Amino acid sequence: MKFFQRSPASTPSDDLLGVLTSMNELAAALRVGYDERAAAAIAVFAVRTLGVVAASVTDDYEALATVGDVSDEWEDAVLEQTAAFVDRQVRKHAVVYEVGDGEVAGEAAAVGLRLDDVVVGTIHVLAATDETPPIAELQEFAELVTNQLALAELEQSRTRAAEAELRALRAQISPHFVHNSLTAIAGLVNTDPGTARDLIATFAEFLRASFRTQTDLTTVSEELRLVEAYLELEQARFGGRFDVVLNIAPEALPVRLPFLTVQPVVENAITHGLEARPGAGHLSIVAENAGPEIAIHVEDDGVGIDPVQLQRALSGADSTPHVGILAVDTRLRSTFGPEYGLTIETGANAGTKVSIRLPKFSAPRV
């Protein structure tokens, strides 16, 4: 595939560096989707690498970006050819057309950009006078752009899925926890009004943080504040039924993670582990330094989970009451990659330990 035409003064390494730089810029622009910024990157890349004097990139009805000194005739021809591509969805190859007439006539070529076999835009290139447009190279280039657009669409779909998981977690917080917390607070209004006032303030802070509308990425420090508010309310409800130990390494505090990662795991430990246990129980939350990563462990000595049932739930074969931790697992994998899902150690009447690994420095994929 021809990507670059060398000038006599350039060297192979210069050419390669230029191509790689352009490809990186193009990939970065296309990652956010198909818009004017992405179209401008496509047009610049086309002019730099295909040896043409101008390039124009459109969506399905108008030009989004043009690079090069072009005439009104070129702009009109681009729109006309774009309409033809959109009208004739079956057209899958580049076409050559003339721009202007007489001595000023020049040859241009256009190719469609497709997603799911639907034309979403076109790329047009104008050859230098007395030259033929690079048809084969243009088609290869369009294939590269289409693949990048497909990847961007996949990234955006994954982001939407993660946002849906977050909304589901927020919805899950509301009915069960809100009812129990308000009941516990109401029971203290007459007997201990000072504690009741404090718990109302804690409850309001918990809800405010849980339903915030900004980005779903937070820090371990902020997430643990939410967990502490949640635990304060739950301990008011359960009295002395369980104790909590927190051991948090300072290195863990600034590490980023999806919002509502630890809290649903803690809620699962109490609701499905300690609440069903006869007598007093214990809950520990540990965040430890692990080289390039940190590890967060939430462990209870409650009733545990049947491993076979859990495995079937994780594989999607069965429904499960542990939807919170399954949603956390999905969001961690979506954010950091498949190697960052939850690790669960459990057994019937043997307690449960849920471990979360987080990269310290890697940028999230969302």
- The CA distance from 42 to 46, in Å, is 6
Average pLDDT over residues 97-101: 75
- Grade residue 3 by pLDDT with cuts at 50, 70 and 90: very low
What pLDDT is stored for residue 159 in this prediction? Answer: 58
Return d(Cα 46, Cα 22) in angstroms, integer. 10
Q: Up-side HSE of residue 21: CA atoms within 13 Å toward CB?
A: 9
User: How wide is the angle at C-alpha 45 spanned by C-alphas 134 and 131, nearest 5°?
Assistant: 25
Instruction: Please write the tens of the pLDDT for every residue from 298-337.
Output: 999 998 877 777 776 666 555 555 556 777 888 888 888 8
pLDDT the model gives residue 286 = 96
Q: How confident is the model at residue 9 (pLDDT cuts 50, 70, 90)?
A: very low
| Burial (CB count within 10 angstroms: exposed 0-12, middle 13-18, buried 19+), residue 194 | exposed
CA distance 48 to 45: 5
Strand duo 217-219 + 343-346: pairing: unpaired
Task: Domains for the chain: give ranges and CATH numbers.
Answer: 12-154 (3.30.450.40), 187-359 (3.30.565.10)
CB-based contact 152:33 (threshold 8 Å):
yes
**What per-residue confidence (pLDDT) applies to 256?**
92
Distance CA 188, CA 195 (A): 7
Residue 239 has pLDDT above 60, yes or no: yes
Question: Are 166 and 258 in contact, with CB atoms under 8 Å apart?
Answer: yes
Rounded to an integer, the average pLDDT of 339-361 is 89
Please state which of the ranges 94-108, 214-228, 283-297 shows the lowest mean pLDDT: 94-108
Per-residue confidence (pLDDT) for residue 174, from 0 to 100: 47
User: Are the CB atoms for 335 and 293 separated by under 8 Å?
Assistant: no
What integer is the mean pLDDT of 210-229?
77
State the pLDDT confidence band at 248, using cuts at 50, 70 and 90: very high
Q: pLDDT band at residue 258, thresholds of 50, 70 and 90?
A: confident
Rounded mean pLDDT, 210-234: 78
Q: Does 144 or 30 have the greater pLDDT score?
A: 144
**Rounded CA gap, 34 and 152, in Å?**
9
Give the model confidence (pLDDT) of 32-87 as tens digits.
Answer: 677 888 888 888 888 888 888 899 999 888 888 898 888 888 888 888 888 888 87
pLDDT of residue 121: 87
DSSP secondary structure code for residue 286 in this structure: E
Query: Distance between CA 113 and CA 76 in Å, rounded?
Result: 19
The number of residues making up the chain comes to 366
Rounded CA-CA distance 101/201 in Å is 77
Residues 120, 161, 312: CA angle, nearest 5 degrees: 130
User: SS3 for 155?
Assistant: helix
Give the count of beta carbons closer than 10 Å to the beta carbon of residue 124. Answer: 32
Residue 8 scores a pLDDT above 50: no
Q: Which two tokens stand for residue 210?
A: 């849980």
Give the residue-averaged pLDDT of 285-302: 94
Partners of 219 in the beta sheet?
A: 256
With both helix axes pointing from N to C terminus, report the angle between 135-186 and 262-269 in degrees, rounded to the nearest 10.
40
Contact (Cβ atoms closer than 8 angstroms) between residue 289 and residue 280: no
**Nearest-10 Cα torsion for 98, 100, 104, 106:** -20
Contact (Cβ atoms closer than 8 angstroms) between residue 209 and residue 225: yes
Query: What is the pLDDT, as a whole number, of residue 7?
Result: 35
Residue type, position 221, single letter: S
- List, for residues 182-203, the tens digit of each pLDDT value: 777 777 777 777 777 877 877 7
E strands, 79-207, are: 95-99, 106-115, 118-126
Residue 11 has pLDDT above 50, yes or no: no
- In a 13 Å sphere around the CA of 314, the CA atoms on its Cβ side amount to 14
Percent with pLDDT over 90 in the chain: 15
The residue with tokens 């050559």 is 96
Q: What percent of the chain has pLDDT over 70?
A: 73
Which residue intervals of 252-352 are DSSP H helices?
262-269, 307-314, 323-336
DSSP run (H or E) holding 40: helix 36-50
pLDDT value for 154? 65
Average pLDDT, the chain: 77
Bridge partners of residue 31, in order along the sequence: none
Confidence of residue 358 (pLDDT cuts 50, 70, 90): very high
Predicted pLDDT at 63:
87
